[in-house]
A and B are shown apart, each in its own frame.
Chain A
Amino acid sequence: MSEPLLPPIGMLAELTHRCPLQCAYCSNPTELLKANREIDTETWLALFEEAADLGVLQVHLSGGEPTLRRDLEQLISGLSRRGVYTNLITAGVGIAEGRIEAFAQAGLDHLQLSFQGARPATTARIGNHQGSHEKKLETAKRARAAGLPLTINAPIHRHNIEEVPEFIELALSLDAERLEIANVQYAGWALVNRDALMPDRASVERQGEIVEAARERLTGIMNIDFVPPDYFATYPKPCMGGWARDAFMVAPDGTVLPCHAAQTITSLTFERFGPRTLTEIWTDSPAFNAFRGTDWMLEPCRTCDRREIDWGGCRCQAMAIAGDAAATDPACIRSPLHARMAAVAGSGRPAGGEAPGAEGFVYRRIGGAPQPENPAPLKPDPALTA
C-alpha cells in the first residue's frame, strides 16, 4: 500500500431496488434485485452498528426508493442512536402521511429529494410516472414543515439540460439550502440509454456558465454542487474519492461494494455482510484492495502528477469504455482512449426534439434488463495508442 489504510467516513446504503419511478438514467445495476433478496431489519441494524464502530460518520439511505422499506424509521433510529449523520435520498413519490414526520422524530438529519424535471411534464416523462412532480412538491413542503433541511437533486441529461435555470428557481422556491446539478454518470441503466441521454457540447457549456453565475448570485443563500459530465471533461473525477479510500456502499442483499457499478467488473468477487464482517471486507477483501491507493496503476497514471488528485478516475468507466478496469479512465485527456470518449460526447444531440419514449428509452424495471446488456466497449484506436 502506498498509504496507510484509514477507516471509512461515508456509506451509501441501497436499502431496496424497488422504486415507483422508472428513470432511464438510474445508476442501479441493470440486474435489479427483487424484494425477497433484501436483507432484513436486524441485519441492517447490525451492519449499521459495525459501520459506526468502524468509523463511519455519515450514512446515505438510498435505493431504489428507500421509503418503500417499512422499517425505515427503525433504521434511521438505529443510526441516530450511534450519532451517525443520516441523509435520506428519496424520489418523494407515495410517502404515506405522517412518515416524513416520523423520520424526523427518529433523528433524520437531512433529506435529499430528486426532481427529474423542473417542469411537471418533464418529471412525468423521465420517470415514466404521471403526477410525480406534484407529489414531489408536496414531499418538499412536508419535509420543510417537519423541520428537515432539504437538498434538491437534479440529474441532468439531454432531456432536461435546458431546464437548469428553472431547477435553480424551483430549489429556491422550495426553501432548499442545497441544490445538486448532477450530470448523469453513464453506468447502470444510464449506460444502456447513453445515446438517448447524451447532451450536446453547446448545452453543456451553457449549463456551466449558468451554474457559475448562479453560484455567485446565491452565495450565502443556497449552495449549488455541480457534477460536470465526464464525457466532456479534461480530467476524471476522483470517483468515490478513490476506490475504497473513505467510502463504500451496500447493495439491498448486503453485498458490500466500493461503488455503485463495481459489479460490472466481473473479474472481482464481492462479499456480503453476514458471512463476513464489515471490518474484514473493508481491510482484507481482495476486491477492495484491487484498486486501492496507487500501486495498481498502469501508465499513464502510475507516473502522473495527478495520481493522488483523481486516483485514476472511475474504474467502472475504464471497464465500460476501455474494456479494462485497470486502464486510465478515458475521461482523462492523458488516456489513449480520450478522443474516442470525446467522439461519443460529440455525437450528443441538442436538447429538445423527440420525447424519450419515441426514441427507444429503456425504462428501468425489475426484470427488464436489456439484452445485450451494454453498448459495445469502444476499442482502442490503433492510431491513438501507437
Chain B
Amino acid sequence: MSDKKIRVLMSKPGIDGHWRGGIVVSRALRDAGMELIFGGFQNIKEIVESAIHEDVDVIGLSIHSGAHLAYTQQVIDLLKERGVLEDILIIVGGVIPAQDFPKLKEIGVANVYGPGSLVSDIVEFIKERIIK
C-alpha cells in the first residue's frame, strides 16, 4: 500500500443539466481524501481520453436523462477498445430505475447508485475496491 491517492473522474455524458448529484458526490469523495477530476459535460470520447490522460482509478458517470444504458455501454466499449477497461472501476449514479441495475452490472459497471443513496456508501465501496 502506498500513499498514492485514489483518482476519480466524475463525468456527465450528454448535455443534461442535472449536475447536483455529481457535484455532491465529488465533494464527498474529495473530503474522503480522493483526487477528483470533475469532467462536467463530456462526450464518450472525451470521457475515455481524460480517464486515460488523468490515469484515474474510477470513472463516475452521473446520468439523469434516461439514457444510462446507452451511454454506459458506449463508455465501456471504448474503454475496452483502448485496452484500459480492466484498470478502471466504473460506477453509475442518477435517476436510474432499479430494473436497470442488473443490466448495468452485466455490462461491467461495478455498482449503481440511485436516488437516496448515501454518499458514505459510495466512499466505502470505492475504498474497498481500490487498494492503493
Asked whether A and B interact, the reply is no
